[in-house]
Structure 1
Amino acid sequence: MGKRRVAILISGRGSNMASLIEAATAKNFPAEIVLVVSNIAGAGGLEKARAAGIETATVESKPFGKDREAFERALNDTLVAHNVQLVCLAGFLRLLTPWFVKQWDGRMLNIHPALLPSYRGLHTHERALADGVKIHGATVHFVVPEMDAGPIIMQGAVAVRDDDTPETLAARVLAVEHQIYPDALRLVASGSTRIEGGVCRTSANASPDDRLIAPAII
C-alpha cells in the first residue's frame, strides 16, 4: 500500500497542520500531505503550507452564505480533484453537514482540546478548570454528523495544576495535540484502525506506563 494522500482543512494559523506536515516528512510515515485548504482567504496556515512545498487552495465559505452544502460541494470537488484519500481538520471553523460527513465517513479526522466525551464544543479549558478536574487533555476522533462525537482514535492527557489559567492549560494541551494528531494519522493511514459498533479499535498497544494520577502525593 502506497502512502495515503491527505488534505488538511484549516481556517487560521494551522498549528496542528504544521505538526502533521512535519511528521509526514519522515520516510516511514504512511501518509503524505498533498493539499491544504482554507475556507478563509489569507489564513496564516496557507503561507506555512506553501513554505513547506505543499499545494494550497482556498474555497471561501462566505460567498455561499447560509448554503452550507453548496460550499461543501465546492470543497469536495477540490478534494476529489486532488485524489485525496483522508481528510484532517485542523482548526477548521465550520460545522459540517451530514452530506459532507457521509462522503468522508471513516476517512475524516478531527482533534478536540478535551478528553471526549467530556467537554464537547467550545471553551473546553475554561469549563474544565471551573469543574476542578484534575486531568484534562486532547482527543483525535473520526468525524460523524454529531459534533465531537465520533469514534475516538487516540487521546493524550495532562495533569491540571491549581494555579492553571485557561491559557497555561491550553498551552500544555496543545503540546499533547501536536504529538497525538500525527500518531493518530499514522494509525489510520497504515490501516491499523477499524470501527466496530461505533468504537475505534486499534492494533497499537497502550502506553507502557498506563497510569496518570493527579495530584501526585510525594
Structure 2
Amino acid sequence: MTNQLPSFISPQCSPEELQLDQTLKLGVMASGSGTNFEALAQAIADKRLNAQIQVVIYNNPDAKVQQRAQRWNIPTVLINHRHYKKNREGLDQKIVEVLKQHEVEWVIMAGWMRIITPVLLNAFPNHVLNIHPSLLPSFKGVNGVEQALAAGVKVTGCTVHIASLEVDSGPIVMQAAVPILPDDTPDTLHARIQVQEHLIFPMAIALAAKKY
C-alpha cells in the first residue's frame, strides 16, 4: 500500500499538453536492471508517449536491461566501459557512433552509471535526458536515496533533467516529490521513488521534446 502514498508532480501537464505531432526516436542508455527502460517501452505501447526506442546501449555485460529489451524486440548494443578505462571520451565517441547509426534524436539515460563527456553532449545538444532519485539540486551523485535518509529530510523524490557536464545538474524538466516515512529503509524508499520515476519519465520526455 505504500506505493499509493500521495506524491506531487511538477509541472502538472494534461495528456493533451504532452501529445507530440512527430514520433521521437529514442536511444536508451542503461547500466542495471532496466525498470525505467521498461516503463518507457510500456508508455510507448500504451500510446502515452509518441516515440520509438531505436536502440538500448548498456555498459555492464550482466545488466538485466538487455534481457528486458530483448523481450520488447528492441536492438541492444553492449559497449563495455571497462575497455575504455582511461578514455571516457573514447567511450562516448563509440556511444555516439551507435546512436547515430540507429538515427537517434533523443538520448535517454535510464540508470546510466557513468560520467558523460562533451563528446556525447555536443553530439546531442540539449537532447540528453537523465533521471535521478532525489529532488535536485539536493543529494546529487550516487546513493541519493541514502543521502536523503541520512540528512533526515521529510520529503525527497526524483528529477528528470537535461544532462550537463556537472553531474546531476542541468535544466530541470519535471520532478515528483515523495514523502519519507519514519520507518523507511533505503529499499522501501527507493521502491516508492521508482514508482514516480516510471510515471514522470515518459511525460518529461514529451515535455522536453516540446521545449527543446
Q: TM-score, normalised by structure 1?
A: 0.84
* 3-state SS, counterpart of residue 24 of structure 1: helix
Percent of paired sites with the same residue:
38
Match of 2:161 among 141, 151, 154: 141
CA distance in 2, matches of 1:113, 1:153: 14
Contact 2:27-2:104 at 8 Å conserved across structures: yes
CA distance in 2, matches of 1:26, 1:4: 15
Structure 1 segments unaligned to the other structure (5+ residues): 195-218
CA distance in 2, matches of 1:118, 1:138: 10
CA distance in 2, matches of 1:105, 1:128: 31
Q: Which has the higher helix share?
A: 2
Contact 2:158-2:176 at 8 Å conserved across structures: yes
Q: CA RMSD in A?
A: 1.4
CA distance in 2, matches of 1:73, 1:143: 17
> What does residue range 191-206 of structure 1 map to in structure 2 within 5 Å?
191=210, 193-194=211-212
CA distance in 1, matches of 2:84, 2:193: 34
> What does residue range 22-37 of structure 1 map to in structure 2 within 5 Å?
22-27=42-47, 29-37=49-57
Match of 1:98 among 118, 125, 142: 118
What is the match of residue 213 of structure 1?
none
Structure 2 segments unaligned to the other structure (5+ residues): 1-20
What is the match of residue 17 of structure 2?
none
**Rg larger in 1 or in 2?**
1
Q: TM-score, normalised by structure 2?
A: 0.86
Contact 2:69-2:76 at 8 Å conserved across structures: yes
Deviation for aligned residue 1:28: 5.7
Which has the higher relative contact order, 1 or 2, with Cα contacts under 8 A spaced 6 or more apart?
Answer: 2
1:165 aligns with 2:150: no
> What does residue range 18-97 of structure 1 map to in structure 2 within 5 Å?
18-27=38-47, 29-97=49-117
